[in-house]
Amino acid sequence: MPANFSVEFDALFRHFRYQDTIYFIGLEGQTTATGNAWEFPLLAKYKLRTKFLRPYIAGGVAWDHLQGLSATNTTVDSAGSPFITTTTTQTSSPSELENRTSPGVVIGGGVDIHALFLHISPEVRYTRWTLPHFELYDLLNSNKNQVEFLLGVSF
């Protein structure tokens, strides 16, 4: 592209796990969940041209999609009975899940280092997601701010 501009599309994968525990009088509930998050940013980049180091800034949009969710809910009830009752359930759609997909806005910056045939590109990237993935009891939401350090290597 002209004037030191370029376009970049990435596919980023991360595995996640979370756990929450709720205590009431005589009742305890625990959820443990795992899943995968795929992030697809589309960025416009502007690079300053120098001989070895090429600093750049980037901005664009991203989409984040959760897949492979698996949650185990365990409830222990010891109230009102001389016996303790334990109930365990499995689900692929936990009750705290609000949105499997969220769009976002991305800005970042880094430097492209040329060493013979190798390009090494450390980058700091900030993403602001528009929708939370999880909401717990109308009180807590998953964080919509994401800061990452990325390292790109290309030939």
Geometric angle at alpha carbon 58, from 56 and 61, rounded to 5°: 170
The model's pLDDT over 88-117, given as tens digits with 9 standing for 90+, comes to 888 888 888 899 999 999 999 999 998 888
58, exposed or middle or buried, with CB in 10 Å at 0-12, 13-18, 19+? Answer: buried
Mean local confidence (pLDDT), 106-132: 93
Q: What is the pLDDT of residue 81?
A: 65
Q: Which fold has domain 5-154?
A: Porin (2.40.160)
The model's pLDDT over 16-69, given as tens digits with 9 standing for 90+, comes to 998 888 877 777 888 899 999 999 999 999 999 887 789 999 999 999 999 999
Q: What is the pLDDT of residue 117?
A: 87
- Considering only CA atoms, give the Rg of the chain: 22
Please state the pTM of the whole predicted model. 0.80
Where in the chain are the domains?
5-154
**Residue 55 DSSP symbol:** E
Three-class HEC string of 114-125: EECCEEEEEEEE
Predicted confidence (pLDDT) at residue 122 exceeds the cutoff of 90: yes
Instruction: Kindly give the pairing relationship between strand 27-47 and strand 53-77.
Output: antiparallel
The model's pLDDT over 75-96, given as tens digits with 9 standing for 90+, comes to 888 766 666 777 888 888 888 8
Torsion sign across C-alpha atoms 102, 128, 152, 1: positive
